[in-house]
Chains A and B, each alone.
Chain A
Amino acid sequence: MNTALSQANTLPRLPQTALPMAFVALAALYVTNPHWILPVSAVLLVASQFSATRLDNEAPMVRVGRYVLFALLGFGTYLRFTSESADSSDANFAYFVGQLCAAELAIQAWLRRPSGGSRLPVAVLLSTMVFLAASNTFDYRFIPWLTPLFFGCLGMALRDYANFDGIKRHALMSGGLSLLLAIGAGAGLHYGVYSYRNEISQWGMRFLEGKTVETSGLSTNPNLGASFNFRGSLTRMLRAENLPAFSYLRAMTFADYQSGRWLPVVERRQMENVLPATLRPNAAGKRARIERLGGDKELVFAPLHAAGIDIPGASLEWQRELGPLRVVAGEETAPIYSVILDGETHQGPLCAPPDAAWRARFLEVSPEVDERIRVLARQIVGDAKTAREKVSAVENYLISHHAYSLNARPGSGDKVSDFLLNKRSAHCEYFASAAVLLLRCVGVPSRYAIGYLAHEAGGHNALVVRGRDAHAWAESYVEGGWITVEATPGGGRPEGRAESLPLGFKWREKLTAWLKTAREWLAHLRTLPLTLWLGAVALLFAWLILRSWRTHPKPTFAEEFRYATRDAELASIGARFENWLAKRGLPCPPGRVWAAHARIADLHAAQPFIAAYERARFGPPTQDIADLKRLLQELENRPQNEAKP
């Protein structure tokens, strides 16, 4: 062997399989968090494979270097925590842990192992930590294909390790398996708790306060704040059939903007009763069926162009211009109502044309709003002539100049002015308010509307509305009708920002619906059919039990093939002799004949009995076993210490 080759073999390398694993982990973190430490770690890892230089863990250079590196990473994380466009704090923490582990991975590759053992366990541990950090961030796009890759590499590395240094493969495999199981269980637990955090907090609330807390997600008292409907609940509010795929389901509108709030509050509105005929329940057109599942059950949601609303058997009330339309408090109604859709020819409830007084209210810009907003509004609109052109100019401006964020960070002064002038990122309430005020500045009567943006498909031709679909938008009175003004980027759901539903969530909902149906069906059953059904189920169970009782499991060879039974008297004598042996502390092993056992254990006194027993047991059939009994009796009568001559 030449010296170069032997030199290469003595390089303190990581096992070849550990490298791809580490790279996959670093790449996984890099796609969500492109931090400089990750490529640096990768380069250092590769470099360590070609160098024989290794540092001592205790060396000052290593110590200081490590602290400086960690401090740098910590400072960077601190900066991002406090910066404007911050991700959620848990994601930042996960990034930080991942970066620390990546740095340590590179450092470990350059350290001298005091025992000269394998570096693989450390590499596996740190790579797994990096990977876990990557999968803990909220960007799941790459995880589905990076995960199998990582676990493939991990498996290869562990296999490599098993062939290494004569380590016991079984111990390692079982250790690795339990490690994977523990990781899986931990991840599953985390995922479960995280996915159902709303439900869990609701259980907690119910437990503490003894009442159900429904989070409809609608802010019926809009107050521009830091967060809107933060990580909205997944509770289903509505289920709608036959609605267009992107429907704005309105609940109510607001006319007056005052110090960051929209007024009048619902409680102060003058409600008047509505005759069902006013809502034109028999109008012609496509009927959309809406089922109320949760939230404020008295509120009636309808799209802008609802030609009619059919709520059987309900007495309703509304505030005619602004809404809401709702079932009179305290009344029970069927949870299902129909909305008649008739193209765009008719406008539904809450769409009354404003009279002069209302028109003035829909054009009022409160004095607290910065004067520069009027200038900005005119700039935005430019030379647009018609109201419709002005509306699209404002929509386009807001969508293209502001970013969406669930966490708004309002500055000082009027919130909408601050939002517009400082080009901040914020949520839909800000966009809607800004659109209303900008349009009012250029003379388009506008108001602020809240409701749900129904967009999630929920089965055939149906939409599901969850608490997190709550939305706010603007409405403008244009050419004799109200139109929806959507100024929020992506309707508040920019790509990649919407979380996918937790695993199995839809199935759970389906199951709940099925159970509900079953319960209703059972409630309608009369006694006789119920008895029949229960009887049938009981019979089925009885049959199943009988069947399983009859087909017992296949016996093993030893169970199936028992020795032919010996004579009962002989068997009892045999048992007595075995008892005699056991009393002397010399039980006979199952694979040894008694005669041989007596020889080995020096029990010569027992030999006459054994010979007689064997003749009676295996010899040609005889009736006389009196002699045998006598011999056994003599044996049993001997004092214990005399048995061994």
Chain B
Amino acid sequence: MSEFATTIENLAVNLQTVIRGKDESIRLLLISMLAGGHTLLEDVPGTGKTTLAKSLARSIDGTFRRVQFTPDLLPADITGSSYYRPQDGTFEFRPGPVFTNVLLADEINRTSPRTQSALLEVMSENQVTNEGLLRPLPQPFFVIATQNPIEFHGTYPLPEAQLDRFTMRIALGYPDALHEVEVIFSQNAQHPFEELKPVVSCERILQLQREVRAVHCERAIVEYIVRIVEHTRRDTRLKLGISPRGSLALHRTAQARATMLGRDFVLPEDVQVLAAPVLAHRLALDTKAKYAGARNETIIEEALEKVEVPR
């Protein structure tokens, strides 16, 4: 097993001590992180979204900040703002919570679009512009947001521009019965989260991200990605197909998955496995299609069935 795979395996094992029976979701989360992207954890309450995010943050030896997205939150509460210093009559910039390695944006859809828009620049360009000054964020920078898709009252659906900036949307789902029993026993004395230790440094993460970029990706695979994306753009049921940001994300995550599985090249299978988590949340369904019962994931699955695989 390569050094890379070992590191990832350690991380995964570390997370599995807290989140039981969600191996698949954990690996997707790690792929997203290795691809340098942000992740949206979306599921019903109580499935461990926040716990998973916190566990990942704790497993990395870096800074971690958490913002609870409440309806009264303001953009400056996130990015930071300048304060007047009466003693020498100057303004001083006080960085907001985004100046961190891992940012947990909890219940992101509970704040207004105005505040959510503060995250747009942060997430796509890893920087904050304040009073004409560019302030780069520390590296690596990784946003994990959670939201509850069921609840409707007091929430604001994420704007398309914001959704597009998440590399992946991962649904956790309920654990199966066996794992749920384990979860209950494991938390009997103490939450396993409390015993979690960092297993990987920030420098190591950055190095892994560089390694991901070096993975070989045949031209046919890139063409396959473009074909899938083009297929969604021509789908009449969609108001909005996949953006080039989406195809870039699919490419990068496919590389990350290949590396994680110990391969030094990308296979069409990587693209197929990642297509739904990476692409589905970027689609905007036509109202007619929505009421006809079409789902984003189904549309991606159909596209995969229709688009010819390179062989």
Contact = CB atoms under 8 A, between A and B. Distances in A.
A67 interface: no
A156 to B, nearest CB: 25
Contacts of B218: 564, 617-619
Given A614-B267, A618-B218, A619-B216, A591 B304 contact: yes
A591 B271 CA distance: 12
Contacts of B308: 558, 563, 590-591
Interface string A608-645: 00000011011110000000000000000000000000
A589 interface: yes
B267 A618 contact: yes
Contacts of B114: none
Contacts of B267: 593, 595, 614, 618
Nearest to A614: B267
B310 A563 contact: yes
Interface string A213-230: 000000000000000000
A596 B269 contact: yes
Nearest to B264: A620
B227 interface: yes
Given A561-B223, A615-B265, A593 B309 contact: yes
B226 A589 contact: no
Nearest to B258: A618
A566 interface: yes
A557 interface: yes
A593 B269 contact: yes
B192 interface: no
Nearest to A615: B265
A591 B224 CA distance: 11
A557 B220 contact: no
Contact of B307 (A566, A591, A596, A619): A591
A237 to B, nearest CB: 63
A592 B309 contact: yes
A574 interface: yes
Contacts, number: 59
A591 B309 CA distance: 5
A593 B272 contact: yes
B268 A593 contact: yes
Nearest to A571: B311
A561 B266 CA distance: 21
A561 B310 CA distance: 12
B215 to A, nearest CB: 10
Interface in B3-34: none
Nearest to B308: A590
A563 B216 CA distance: 17
Contacts of B122: none
Interface string A35-56: 0000000000000000000000
Contacts of A619: 216, 218, 264-265
A404 interface: no
B230 to A, nearest CB: 6
Contact of B226 (A561, A591, A592, A618): A561
B309 A590 contact: yes
B34 to A, nearest CB: 20
A346 B111 CA distance: 108
Given A591-B304, A593-B309, A594-B311, A618 B230 contact: no
Interface string B261-300: 0001111110010000000000000000000000000000
B269 A564 contact: no
B94 interface: no
Contacts of A589: 305
B153 interface: no
B219 interface: yes
A281 B267 CA distance: 100
Contacts of A574: 311
Given A561-B227, A619-B216, A591 B305 contact: yes
B185 to A, nearest CB: 34
Contacts of A592: 309
Residue among A564, A578, A589, A615 having the largest count of chain B Cβ atoms under 10 Å: A564
Interface in A185-202: none
Interface string B163-205: 0000000000000000000000000000000000000000000
Residue among B219, B221, B227, B311 having the largest count of chain A Cβ atoms under 10 Å: B311
B210 interface: no
Given A617-B218, A618-B220, 14 more contacts: A557-B234, A561-B223, A561-B230, A563-B308, A563-B310, A566-B220, A589-B305, A591-B307, A592-B309, A593-B267, A593-B272, A617-B311, A618-B267, A619-B216
11 contacts: A561-B226, A563-B220, A564-B219, A564-B223, A591-B305, A593-B268, A593-B272, A594-B311, A615-B265, A618-B267, A620-B264
Query: 10 closest pairs, A vs B, by CB?
Result: A591-B305, A619-B265, A590-B308, A564-B219, A618-B218, A620-B216, A593-B269, A563-B220, A563-B310, A593-B268
